[in-house]
């Protein structure tokens, strides 16, 4: 089946005049062009939006001033020059596509814009990065069926999946204010903990600290209050993706989550990667939705032929860990697992449509987490809770250290890339954060 929305920006042979973008295995080739918010490190200048290209950033403030752009594109560039990515998220899909095409042409080898834009580049290592947009609301879903099944077996061996899982894209409202950017340092949280044989809980630092491997979906234009988004229009409202580590205090969670679900075990911090990879860049990697034979079909409001045939996304996901001892010894991070987002039970479109189905008004820049993305094999768990079987079987690292859950000083790194025949490999960049000791009580 022909993939949708493919154009010259997906040509795998296209090269950039930014030499580093042409390197094999580069996360940010010409075919990617993700958006991020930055300024020069060590300078108290205004934030602006940039586009990652190779190991450089195209400063869209300077590009707007120096480049030659048609009037509609100048209108789109002006808020980006002021650091406002939400304005582009709110724009119609056709306008977003037009800007992507213009930036592609400007950065392509042989472009007449090269001489004008060469000094609009900044090396990524010289930049300070911030949250890419204003995140008004954050909702976390539970679309990884292999994660849901494995975790369910730990607590309900005879009934791991609750009856609603295959009918409803399960989610809960998270905390937007505690979302941070890759590179952050996060303190181990305090919370109520209750041992199985204890009569009462205690208030102490969490002991079973974990990561969760997720994707974050940024909402595009959104919908008015009371007006659902139909499946036929879902793609108009999917702006782009980042990596998301939804840190979790498992022992706090076990005590507090009934009857209303996650609360303090989750909202002490979430980390996202700084670059938003647009859905347009990911078009060559769309795939069929995976749904096992015999499972109930989605209700009509969550179903469409396009979603069944191309609602999935073939995206390789990885988690890496570097302990404090490894860092002190100059040893690199080690990979803990690998999975793929094509295993997700619910698609990005179904998440968004279900969220708005009751008339809930989604807004440009709202963030929807996919939930932990694990694969079907035991070594493809997207959290330590799964990989260690609830803490019962510790992982042995290459340097001899072991981990059931995270220890202070551990740095967790999420990585992802999309790769397919006839398309250029594109990546997301790192989503990294380091766990610090709990603050003094």
Instruction: Answer with the one of 92, 113, 130 that is the final residue of a domain.
Output: 130
Pairwise CA distance, residues 37 & 419, whole Å: 26
**pLDDT exceeds cutoff 50 at 1:** no
Give the pairing type, strands 367-369 and 213-219: antiparallel
pLDDT in tens, 10-51: 999 999 999 999 999 999 999 999 999 999 999 999 999 999
**pLDDT exceeds cutoff 60 at 3:** no
Is 355 a residue of the active site? no
8-state DSSP, 426? E
Helices H / strands E in the chain, number of each = 11, 27
How much is the average pLDDT of 259-281?
Answer: 95
Pairwise CA distance, residues 124 & 121, whole Å: 9
> Does residue 441 lie within any of the structural domains?
no
**Helix (H), strand (E) at residue 105:** helix 93-107
Q: Residues 324, 329, 334, CA angle at the centre, nearest 5°?
A: 65
> Using 50, 70 and 90 to split pLDDT, how confident is the model at 4?
low
**pLDDT exceeds cutoff 60 at 439:** yes
pLDDT in tens, 416-429: 999 999 999 999 99
> Does residue 1 lie within any of the structural domains?
no
Pairwise CA distance, residues 91 & 4, whole Å: 20
CATH number of 40's domain: 2.30.30.230
The total number of residues shown for the chain amounts to: 441
Q: Both 246 and 327 in a single domain?
A: yes
Structure tokens at 405: 């859950």
Helices 93-107, 71-81: inter-axial angle, 10-degree rounding: 90
pLDDT in tens, 78-125: 999 999 999 999 999 999 999 999 999 999 999 999 999 999 999 999
> Does residue 64 lie within any of the structural domains?
yes
* pLDDT at residue 411 in the model: 98
Q: Both 119 and 143 in a single domain?
A: no
Q: Both 406 and 286 in a single domain?
A: yes
DSSP string computed for 220-249: -S---TT-PPPGGGGGGGEEEEEEEE--EE
How many CA atoms lie within 13 Å of 221's alpha carbon, on the beta-carbon side? 16
Q: Both 114 and 259 in a single domain?
A: no
* pLDDT at residue 340 in the model: 98
Which residue is catalytic, options 10, 146, 147, 354?
147
> Does residue 104 lie within any of the structural domains?
yes
How much is the average pLDDT of 178-184?
Answer: 98
Pairwise CA distance, residues 309 & 318, whole Å: 25
Give the pairing type, strands 35-40 and 48-53: antiparallel
8 A C-beta contact, residue 223 and residue 230 = no
**pLDDT > 70 in the chain, percent:** 99
* pLDDT at residue 96 in the model: 98
Q: Both 249 and 108 in a single domain?
A: no
Instruction: Answer with the one of 130, 146, 164 that is the final residue of a domain.
Output: 130
**Helix (H), strand (E) at residue 184:** strand 184-187
Q: What is the mean pLDDT of the chain?
A: 95
> Does residue 23 lie within any of the structural domains?
yes
Q: Residues 338, 124, 70, CA angle at the centre, nearest 5°?
A: 105
Full-model pTM: 0.96
How many CA atoms lie within 13 Å of 414's alpha carbon, on the beta-carbon side? 32
Q: Both 299 and 386 in a single domain?
A: yes
Pairwise CA distance, residues 259 & 121, whole Å: 52
* pLDDT at residue 164 in the model: 87
Count the Cβ atoms, other than its own, within 10 Å of residue 358: 8
> Using 50, 70 and 90 to split pLDDT, how confident is the model at 162?
confident
8 A C-beta contact, residue 84 and residue 46 = no
Q: Both 318 and 172 in a single domain?
A: yes
CA dihedral 127, 133, 134, 137 (to 10 degrees): -130
> Does residue 3 lie within any of the structural domains?
no
CA distances from 410 to 10, 181, 247, 380, 430 (A): 38, 17, 13, 20, 15
CATH number of 296's domain: 3.90.850.10
Question: For residue 306, what are the contacts with CB-CB under 8 A and spacing of at least 6?
Answer: 4, 231, 232
Domain count, the chain: 2
Q: Both 418 and 364 in a single domain?
A: yes
Using left for φ > 0, alpha for ψ between -120 and 50, and beta otherwise, residue 25 falls in left
Q: Both 146 and 113 in a single domain?
A: no
Give the domain extent around 235.
138-436
Instruction: Answer with the one of 63, 95, 130 that is the final residue of a domain.
Output: 130
> Does residue 379 lie within any of the structural domains?
yes
> Does residue 2 lie within any of the structural domains?
no
Q: Both 322 and 342 in a single domain?
A: yes
How much is the average pLDDT of 308-331?
Answer: 97
Q: Both 74 and 110 in a single domain?
A: yes
Largest CA distance in the chain: 74
Q: Both 312 and 272 in a single domain?
A: yes
8 A C-beta contact, residue 47 and residue 38 = yes
* pLDDT at residue 339 in the model: 97
CA distances from 39 to 46, 48, 49, 118, 276 (A): 7, 6, 9, 17, 16
> Using 50, 70 and 90 to split pLDDT, how confident is the model at 311?
very high
pLDDT in tens, 217-251: 999 999 999 999 999 999 999 999 999 999 999 99
Structure tokens at 244: 């998301």
């Amino acid at each position: 089946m022909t993939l949708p929305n493919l154009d010259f920006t997906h040509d795998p042979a296209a090269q950039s005049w930014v030499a580093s973008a042409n390197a094999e295995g580069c996360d940010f080739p010409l075919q990617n062009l993700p958006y991020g918010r930055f300024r020069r490190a060590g300078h108290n200048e205004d934030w602006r939006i940039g586009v990652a290209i190779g190991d450089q950033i195209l400063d869209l403030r300077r590009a707007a001033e120096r480049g030659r752009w048609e009037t509609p594109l100048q209108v789109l560039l002006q808020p980006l020059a002021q650091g406002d990515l939400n304005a582009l998220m709110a724009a119609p899909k056709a306008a977003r596509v037009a800007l992507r095409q213009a930036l592609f042409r400007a950065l392509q080898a042989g472009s007449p814009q090269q001489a004008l834009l060469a000094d609009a580049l900044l090396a990524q290592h010289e930049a300070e990065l911030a949250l890419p947009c204003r995140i008004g609301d954050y909702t976390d879903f539970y679309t990884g069926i292999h994660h849901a099944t494995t975790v369910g077996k730990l607590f309900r061996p005879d009934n791991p999946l609750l009856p609603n899982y295959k009918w409803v894209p399960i989610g809960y409202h998270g905390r937007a204010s505690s979302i941070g950017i890759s590179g952050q340092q996060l303190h181990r949280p305090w919370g109520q903990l209750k041992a199985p044989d204890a009569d009462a809980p205690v208030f102490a630092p969490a002991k079973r600290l974990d990561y969760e491997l997720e994707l974050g979906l940024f909402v595009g234009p959104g919908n008015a209050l009371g007006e659902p988004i139909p499946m036929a229009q879902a793609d108009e409202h999917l702006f782009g993706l980042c990596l998301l580590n939804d840190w979790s205090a498992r022992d706090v969670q076990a005590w507090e989550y009934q009857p209303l679900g996650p609360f303090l075990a989750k909202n002490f911090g979430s980390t996202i990667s700084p670059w938003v990879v647009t859905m347009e860049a990911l078009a060559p990697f769309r795939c069929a939705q995976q749904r096992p034979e015999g499972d109930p079909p989605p209700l009509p409001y969550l179903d469409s032929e396009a979603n069944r045939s191309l609602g999935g996304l073939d995206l390789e996901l990885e988690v890496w860990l570097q302990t404090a001892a490894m860092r002190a010894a100059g040893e690199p991070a080690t990979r803990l697992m690998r999975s793929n987002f094509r295993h997700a039970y619910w698609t990005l479109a179904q998440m968004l449509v279900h969220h708005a189905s009751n008339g809930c008004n989604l807004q440009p820049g709202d963030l929807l987490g996919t939930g932990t993305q694990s694969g079907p094999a035991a070594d493809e768990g997207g959290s330590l809770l799964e990989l260690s079987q609830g803490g019962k079987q510790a992982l042995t690292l290459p340097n001899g250290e072991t981990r059931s859950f995270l220890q202070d000083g551990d740095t967790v790194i999420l990585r992802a890339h999309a790769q397919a025949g006839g398309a250029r490999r594109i990546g997301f960049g790192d989503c990294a954060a380091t766990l610090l000791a709990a603050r003094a009580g």
